[in-house]
Amino acid sequence: MTNVDIVIEICGSAGEGTISAGEILSRFMSSQGFEIMSFDSYPSEIRGFGKCVAHSRISNRKILSPGKYADILIALKDAHSISQLPSLRETGIVIYDNKPPNYLEEDKSIAGWIEPGMISYGVPLLELAQKAAGNSRGRNMVAIGALAALFQIDDEAMKASIRSRYAKKKQIVIDSNLNSFQEGFEWSKKNITKIDPYTFRNVRLKKSNKSRAIINGNQAVAQAALDSGLHLYAGYPITPATKIMEILSKELPKKGGIMIQTEDEIAAIGNVVGAGFAGKRAMTATSGPGFSLMTELANLAVMAEVPAVIINSQRGGPSTGVPTKTEQSDLNIALSGGSGDSPRIVIAPTTVEECYLGVSLALYLAEKYQTLVVVLLDFFLSNSIRNIPMPEPINKKWLKGNIAPTKTELKDYKRFKNTESGISPRAIPGTPGGMFVTTGLEHSEQGKPQYDRETHHQMTRKRFRKIQNAINEAPKPQWRGPKKDISVGVIAWGSTAGSAQEAVIKAQKEGIKAALMSSMLISPLPADSFRKFSKACQKILVPELNYSGQFANYLAPYLNRPIERLNMVTGLPMSAEDILDKIREMAN
């Protein structure tokens, strides 16, 4: 029995079945009991529009990050795959089409770019696909067949997996996919002498993965929204959040909800705030540019104390930035975007599981605390596919958050009563006797515009005070590793936390006393937990995918000590290796 931890990348053009091949592979591996983390990307800067890469990390042990380098690259299209070679391990493997219809110039062929140390296996993908199905469409399945032959994957089980993937299609589609797979499998078995050490045979596996869902961050967000009683989703298409809208457009009406595609992000958040005012759960999902447009109305939600949830799947910025790359640079705007002192709740899930948890929590907190809740995802988390245990049913308590006024309270109803907790009972339109007006102007307890200094001071304090209790409702911050004498304490947030955890575990194996602190709740910050962690650490490292160290800057006044930073804006998820290097450097 051995352990397996292999990263496979399939690279080709959109429309060549690149992504679906990756999907089949991931699903199959999941069904076999492997843990998977997959990530499809569509780099937009590539010459020859349409490059896409299906990246899958497959292991029989827990996967915490996508893995920096691929072990196996399947090149469905040479031109695209050449630019993918730098992310292949030094001793990685390339499977390529060794019988294209025409001669390629040497720099156009991936075989000419393979580095010493890499192993290449040529398979006549096109020829076999044509043999199997009479057309070129099955090249992806031929490649998967070759993969199965080369790395000792159970071909019969894999065929069953292909069959179920295309179960709803016509028989001819199923057959041609299966035949293509078979051709690739047999040809490779017969013609290729394996000279690499990778294998999926004799791996110690979990018993069953049947209770596992294969979902990405965006799907988890949508599922959480559906399970949490979302009534209205308003949105404007923007990468990488669009998928959430697409899913909800299909699923929300089945639950009696509405998905509306608006003319812009301003209208989207306007609809959300309107629906929140009217007493229904509503949210929108966007990315940095859309979020920028939304800040004014998001601020209104804070001021007028109306529930509103915004999912911001971050991409590279500023401005239109790098739409298909991942980054964590919208923390500042999420924490304080808009005018004035504008407290709000910010949640940053660190995993796909937490995307589900985070969104249901967000909808609850927004309703209960009558304010804006921002959920920060990023391009990677949105598109990162995991086979996770089926989400737990939503905490029932979270399904109903609004605190309605009592009959007595309605007699002399003060919508913005300055209570001890800061939360004022909220009447929903339709409630007789609860009529009030709310406004973006500073206002009295009754909601009437009122600007005197005492009112503005007291009401500002109330708005800050009321969200503090969210700390006690959100999941506790995670402290992993030793509890004292920590030489390097890593504080990570969002999707970087997974890589940080992997790095910390590796560092511990090297004898470094490292530990990790991460919290899904970013604002209000569970500051006590962070301070406690900080006190147990000699040095603190904050790795994050932005240039200015936004989270480190946010933490600094709470921790009141020097913070080491690791900032990368390469557009790629931060790898465990990158963080480990920094930990080693700091430990010395």
Partner 1 sequence: MPKNDHYVIIGNGPAGNKAADRLRDRDKEARVTIISDEAFSFYYRYKLPDFIAGRISEDALKVRPYTIYKEKNIRLRLGQRVERIDPDEKVLYLKHMKKVGYTKLILATGGSPRVPPSFIRFMEYFTFMTNYNDAVRIRPELQKAKDIIVIGGDLISLRFIKMLTGMKKNIYFILTRNCFWPIELTSRMAGKISSSLEKKGIKALVDTPIAAITRQKNKLLLETGDGQKIRADMICSFLGLKPNIDFIVGSGIDTEKGILVNEYLQTNYADIYACGECAQIYNPKLKDYWISIGSENAALQGETAALSLLGAHKVIKPVPKNLLNVGGVSVNTSWWKQF
Partner 2 sequence: MEVLKYSYLDEKIDEVKEQGFLNYRTSELPTWCPGCGYFGITHAMVQACDALGLKNEEICVASGIGCAGRYPIFMKAYGFHTVHGRSIPIASGIKLARQDLTVFAVGGDGDILGIGGGHLPHIARKNIDITLFLFDNSIYGLTKGQTSPTTPLSQVTNSHSQGNPDTPLRPVFLALAHGASFVARCYAGDVEGMKNIFTQAISHKGFSFLHIVSPCVTFDKVNITWKRLRENFRAVPSVHDPSDYRAAIQMAEDPRPIFGLFYHDPSRQSYQENLRGKRSPENSKSSER
What gap in Å lies between CA 497 and CA 504, rounded to an integer?
10
Among 44, 55, 58, CA closest to 4: 58
Nearer to partner 2, 215 or 306 (CB): 306
What gap in Å lies between CA 8 and CA 285, rounded to an integer?
30
Q: Which helix (H) or strand (E) holds 269?
A: helix 265-277
What gap in Å lies between CA 173 and CA 202, rounded to an integer?
32
Residue 98 binding partner 1, by CB under 8 A? yes
Nearer to partner 1, 107 or 485 (CB): 107
On the CB side of 305, CA atoms within 13 Å amount to 33
Nearer to partner 2, 152 or 446 (CB): 446
Task: Choose the binding region for partner 1 from 103-111, 261-269, 329-337, 542-550 (rule: CB under 8 A).
Answer: 103-111
Residue 551 binding partner 1, by CB under 8 A? no
For 44, other C-beta atoms within 10 Å of its C-beta total 13
Instruction: Tell me the three state secondary structure of residue 44.
Output: coil
Q: Which residues bind partner 2 (CB under 8 A)?
A: 231-232, 234, 253, 258, 260, 262-264, 266-280, 282, 296-297, 300, 304, 427, 429-441, 448-449
What gap in Å lies between CA 361 and CA 509, rounded to an integer?
35
Smallest separation (angstroms) from partner 2 to the CB of 435 = 6
Torsion sign across C-alpha atoms 284, 288, 290, 295: positive
For residues 423 and 403, is the Cβ–Cβ distance under 8 A? yes
Smallest separation (angstroms) from partner 1 to the CB of 313 = 38
What gap in Å lies between CA 442 and CA 452, rounded to an integer?
9
Among residue numbers 122 through 151, which ones bind partner 1 (CB under 8 A)? 122
Among 226, 228, 227, 246, CA closest to 236: 246
Nearer to partner 1, 33 or 100 (CB): 100
Task: Choose the binding region for partner 1 from 89-97, 154-162, 376-384, 389-397 (rule: CB under 8 A).
Answer: 89-97
Sketch the per residue contact string, 186 through 215, with partner 1: x for CB under 8 A, - otherwise: -------xxx--------------------
Q: How far is CA 381 from CA 167, 220, 234, 360, 399, in A?
A: 29, 10, 21, 17, 25
Of residues 43, 50, 100, 323, which one binds partner 1 by CB under 8 A?
Answer: 100
Smallest separation (angstroms) from partner 2 to the CB of 398 = 19
Q: What are phi and psi of 150, to 5 degrees?
A: -70, -35
What, of partner 1, partner 2, none, does residue 187 touch, CB below 5 to 8 Å by kind? none
Residue 393 binding partner 1, by CB under 8 A? no
What, of partner 1, partner 2, none, does residue 96 touch, CB below 5 to 8 Å by kind? partner 1
What, of partner 2, partner 1, none, does residue 436 touch, CB below 5 to 8 Å by kind? partner 2
Nearer to partner 2, 276 or 526 (CB): 276
Q: What are phi and psi of 76, to 5 degrees?
A: -80, -25
- Residue 182 sits at the vertex; the CA angle it makes with 177 and 188, to the nearest 5 degrees, is 130
Nearer to partner 2, 294 or 559 (CB): 294
For strand 486-492 and strand 372-378, is the pairing parallel, antiparallel, or unpaired?
unpaired
Smallest separation (angstroms) from partner 1 to the CB of 87 = 17
For residues 7 and 57, is the Cβ–Cβ distance under 8 A? yes
Instruction: Tell me the three state secondary structure of residue 543.
Output: strand
What gap in Å lies between CA 188 and CA 101, rounded to an integer?
20
Task: Choose the binding region for partner 1 from 112-120, 154-162, 286-294, 295-303 (rule: CB under 8 A).
Answer: 112-120
Nearer to partner 2, 96 or 277 (CB): 277
List of E strands, 353-394? 372-378, 384-389
Residue 103 binding partner 1, by CB under 8 A? yes
Residue 86 binding partner 1, by CB under 8 A? no
Smallest separation (angstroms) from partner 1 to the CB of 116 = 3
Smallest separation (angstroms) from partner 1 to the CB of 67 = 21
Nearer to partner 2, 404 or 435 (CB): 435
Instruction: Tell me the three state secondary structure of residue 462.
Output: helix
Residue 117 binding partner 1, by CB under 8 A? yes
What gap in Å lies between CA 218 and CA 385, rounded to an integer?
9
Smallest separation (angstroms) from partner 1 to the CB of 70 = 17
Task: Choose the binding region for partner 1 from 91-99, 206-214, 247-255, 430-438 (rule: CB under 8 A).
Answer: 91-99
Residues in contact with partner 1 by CB under 8 A are: 90-91, 96-109, 111-112, 114-117, 119-122, 193-195
